[in-house]
Amino acid sequence: MEWHVKLLLRPGSTVLEERVRLRNRSDVRHRFYWWNNAAVRVSDDSKMAPIVDAPRAEYLVGTAYATCGRTQEAEAKFQVASKASTPDQVLWAWLAAQKLPGFDGTVWQERLQSASADAEGRTQTSSFASWWHYTAGALQAALGNRKEADTEFEKAFLVPDRMMSYHCTRLARAEGTR
């Protein structure tokens, strides 16, 4: 099985295109190709603004800009993402702040610890417990507390999935940092 993933950010465009190709080279009788081309402009009335404007999205788009050599656009996205203050977005704010000049690890350590404590508290009171377990685990991983992170990630799978928390937890475990 062979995978190819290509992200395109064309000059002057605000659309990030994703092209995924899957090919089975081992079986000549059942060879197949799969393409996924996603390039969608988001209009103001699409109700997608909370997702598109989220610090996570700002950080990821900033990373794509940086990879493409568009440093000014990347820095602007990192600036926006680094201002996040809600517990479930502080991780992305921290990651973005690391990409900016003047990063102060001590200040961010305190913010990460505070957000982690808040997220752990919300696991007991929110109907989105799996999301908050994922968030607490990701923040613990960012703080370097791998054992505590793994414990929170395990708990995320013991309650109903909300807000794609199972998917995010699997990604965080695979990456080891988020």
Question: DSSP per residue over 42-89, as a string?
Answer: PPTTSS-HHHHTSHHHHHHHHHHHHHTT-HHHHHHHHHHHHT--STTT
Q: pLDDT-based confidence at 35, cuts 50/70/90?
A: very low
Residue 107 φ/ψ, nearest 5 degrees: -60, -45
Least confident window among 63-72, 122-131, 142-151: 63-72
104 contacts 82 by C-beta, under 8 angstroms = no
The span from the first CA to the last CA of the chain, in angstroms, equals 27
121 contacts 89 by C-beta, under 8 angstroms = no
Cα 166 to Cα 19, 21, 24, 105, distances in angstroms: 24, 25, 28, 29
What is the rounded radius of gyration, in angstroms, for the C-alpha atoms of the chain? Answer: 18
User: Coil, strand or helix: which one is 8?
Assistant: strand
> What's the pLDDT at 23?
58
Percentage of the chain exceeding pLDDT 70: 71
Q: Tell me the average pLDDT across 75-104.
A: 96
In this prediction the pTM is 0.73
Q: Which of 126, 124, 139, 129 is nearest to 172 (CA)?
A: 139
> What's the pLDDT at 53?
78
The H or E element spanning position 97 is helix 90-98
Percentage of the chain exceeding pLDDT 90: 57
